[in-house]
Amino acid sequence: MDLHGRVAIVTGGGTGIGRAVCLRLAKAGAKAVVVNYSRSDKDARVTAAELIVLGQDAIAHKADVSNESEVKAMIAAAIDRYGRLDVLINNAGTTRFIAHADLEALTDDVWDEIFKVNLKGTFYCCRAAAPELRKTGGTIVNIASVAGHLATGSSIVYAVSKAGVLQLTRALAVALAPDVRVNSVSPGLVSTRWLRQFDAGAADSQETATAASTPLNAVATTDHVAQAVMAFVENDMITGQDVVVDGGKNILY
């Protein structure tokens, strides 16, 4: 896909991986990017302003992806403003940090909260965007996680939700073919401000240890993940696939 003249929506686009993807889309020539957010209003507006400086149009749009009516309104607003939709990046997500052995902590509220955003939210966005993406021969990239592949991650619920995103990606790649391509990216540990807000010292130690255990001796940045997203956006012959971005850590025993 040549991105010139194209319109994209990036959920959770104001910070971290979402922001990096927004910047990559704009630099590749996307006409406009809708920077979705649910809580990070200031960050989303700053990101939108950065995209405008790069010469593209951008707006920050508040919508909770776990609320289907808000998702539909966001898609409708993008179409009303720009007349088309070509790219959907489902990046919005949430988690709880719960030790995997602590099964009693996995309450219904935890399951519902994480699944509503990570899995149902991704589906709501795909379903709402599908009619417009069919018209333009568009593409979807879902942000999953290595936790969806392995027995790891911030909690069991998070891991299961991301495994669901992987299967949803494959299923939608068939359901929306041949008009819309659907792929996913599974980051490992990514160096982000979000990770450091909980414990900066622990984050530094985790990154150092992870880097030492990877073949590339490095931890991914948000832009590394954005590069993988863009590879799927731009390649017109790939659908139903997932790529892991973790410096090769997942190939080791």
Contact call for residues 148 and 162 (beta carbons, < 8 A): yes
Tokens 């007349």 appear where? 83
Q: Which residue has the tokens 């040549």?
A: 2
Query: Do residues 115 and 66 make contact, with C-beta atoms less than 8 angstroms apart?
Result: no
Q: Which residues of 30-43 are buried (b: 16+ CB within 10 A; e: fewer)?
A: bbbbbbbbbebeeb
Q: Are 30 and 3 in contact (CB under 8 A)?
A: yes
Given the residues 37, 82, 124, 158, the one annotated as active site: 158
Q: How far apart are CA 13 and CA 131, in angstroms?
A: 22
For 98-107, which contacts have Cβ atoms below 8 Å and span 24 or more sequence positions?
A: 98/154, 98/155, 98/156, 98/157, 100/151, 100/155, 100/156, 103/156, 106/155, 106/156, 106/157
- Cα–Cα–Cα angle for 80, 11, 132, rounded to 5 degrees: 40
Q: Is-catalytic flag, 158? A: yes
With beta carbons less than 8 A apart as the criterion, state whether 8 and 25 touch.
yes
Residues carrying an active site annotation: 158
